[in-house]
Amino acid sequence: MNPIQLFDPASSTYTYVLVDETSTQSPRPALIIDPVDAQLERDLAILRQNKLYLVWALETHAHADHITSAGLLAEHTGAQTAAPVACGISTASKLLSNGDVLSFGDQHVTALHTPGHTAGSMSFVWQRKEDMHAPTQVFTGDTLLIGGCGRTDFQSGSAAALYNSITQVLFALPDSTLVWPGHDYKGQTQSTIGAEKTGNARVAGRSLDEFVTLMGQLNLPKPKRIDEAVPANQRSGLSANVINIRHDSDDNQTPLNMKDTSMTQDNVQPADGYAGDIDPQTAFDWWQAGEAVLVDIRTDAERAWVGYVPGAAEIAWKQWPGMVMNPAYDADLLAAVPKEKKVLLLCRSGLRSIPAAKRAAELGLEAYNILEGFEGDPNGNAHRNSVGGWRHRGLPWRQN
């Protein structure tokens, strides 16, 4: 049982999907390591095709070369996000320390602190529970690459720390351990600890001092996307995807695809595939004026746990368990929304309601996505309901 190994060509990043294949549940529990934003649709399709339920979206570190999709995956799949405690990824729902264990079904991965590429970097060890003779597997991020290692010249990197992490922490794993790296630039896919001990061009046969000297002489160019990627990744990728499309009070551009030019254009932002994005207050005003139907597309479980909007139509886009598509969405939506009214789609944070709005538009409705959703984005303590959102903005809601 190896992981599903996925590749992002633009950044040469490997993403891994680990599945509990012993599970008799359907969908089966899974965990993803280092997902890439540009591959979100691919990764959602893989989860669907393999009938997987994503429990965790996990980072090895705050990447400098691409933006994570962890925040988006959490919204679309119901997964929780986890990241090393010392990487500044404050939006993650779980911050990992050395030795912490994450479970998905009956499977477990253990976090190993392997600093050096960045101070917070971690590797993750997977020992299959049902077969103790199967080789241990380790996901090394940018700490140990096949025949190489990550750079140490930015983002709190340290060549001495990296040497220790590779030779004392990772090389303490059994020689048969399968190594799954965070990148490869030559088409290699996996290695073993034994092979890296003897053949790794950066580390094998080198002393600490020799390694530090070598790393100091690399003179690599600055990663192209570092200034954009690191801050975005410290918000689980959400800043690059959602915050940038949020309102900008100085933005007087005319929305591109508005269907009704008589409406209050200031409150509508252009959108691709549906009528536009609107803020929660505008949604409330249109709904109260009788122009629109408000549809809460969160799961039944979310409404029960977090709270609901009295009077909103409740039509889930996806449902627990496993965030599977609600097969009744189309029919229920068409039954709830008269043709002459707009439909306003509310989810948790304004992400899941985007595909729901696109689908509503395909069904012939004038559909708007409500930015920020019911709960808004997580704050620096990974808590919601304090950064925007229907509830935080004082609009009516109730708790069961």
Binding segment for Fe ion among 56-64, 168-176, 340-348, 364-372 (CB under 5 A)?
Answer: 56-64
Pick 143 or 349: Cβ nearer Fe ion = 143
Span 62-101, contacts to Fe ion by CB under 5 A: 63
Which residue's beta carbon is nearest to the bound Fe ion?
Answer: 142
Beta bridge partners of 111: 124
Nearer of residues 59 and 100 to Fe ion, judged by Cβ: 59
Considering the complex, state which of residue 92 and residue 360 has its C-beta at the smaller distance from Fe ion: 92
> Nearer to Fe ion by C-beta: 77 or 155?
155
Shortest distance, CB of residue 141 to Fe ion, whole angstroms? 7
Among 8, 43, 75, 142, indicate the residue that binds Fe ion (CB under 5 A). Answer: 142
- Total binding residues for Fe ion by CB under 5 A? 2
When the beta carbons of 34 and 302 are compared against Fe ion, the nearer one is 34
Pick between residue 63 and residue 113 the one whose CB is nearest to Fe ion.
Answer: 63
Residue numbers 206-235 binding Fe ion by CB under 5 A: none
Which strand (E) or helix (H) includes residue 72? helix 70-77
Pick from 166, 162, 109, 115: nearest CA to 137: 109
User: Contact, 203 vs 159, CB < 8 A?
Assistant: no
- Concatenated DSSP letters for 171-236? GGS-TT-EEEESB-SSS---EEHHHHHHH-TTTTT--HHHHHHHHHT--PPPPTTHHHHHHHHTTT
Closest distance to Fe ion from the beta carbon of 314 (Å)? 42
Q: How far is the CB of 290 from Fe ion (least distance, A)?
A: 52
Helix (H, G, I), strand (E, B) or coil at 111: strand
Nearest distance, CB of residue 226 and Fe ion, angstroms: 10
- The torsion of the CA quartet 359, 362, 366, 368, rounded to 10 degrees, works out to 30
Q: How far is CA 7 from CA 10, 46, 184, 203, 210, in A?
A: 9, 13, 9, 25, 32
Is position 34 an interface residue for Fe ion (rule: CB under 5 A)? Answer: no
Residue nearer to Fe ion on the CB measure, 100 or 142: 142
- Span 237-266, contacts to Fe ion by CB under 5 A: none
336 — alpha (psi -120 to 50), left (phi > 0) or beta?
A: alpha
Closest by Cα among 322, 352, 329, 349 to 47: 322
Is residue 4 a contact partner of residue 15, using CB atoms and an 8 Å limit? no
User: Which range touches Fe ion (CB under 5 A), out of 72-80, 138-146, 217-225, 309-317?
Assistant: 138-146
Q: 341: closest CA among 376, 290, 379, 392?
A: 290
Q: Which stretch binds Fe ion (CB under 5 A): 61-69, 104-112, 288-296, 328-336?
A: 61-69
Residue 54 backbone dihedrals phi, psi, to 5 degrees: -80, 120
Q: How far is the CB of 154 from Fe ion (least distance, A)?
A: 9
Q: Are 320 and 300 spatial neighbours (Cβ–Cβ below 8 Å)?
A: yes
20 versus 142: smaller Cβ distance to Fe ion? 142
CB of 150 to Fe ion, least distance (A): 6
Q: Do 270 and 257 form a contact (C-beta atoms < 8 A)?
A: yes
Chain contacts with Fe ion (rule: CB under 5 A): 63, 142
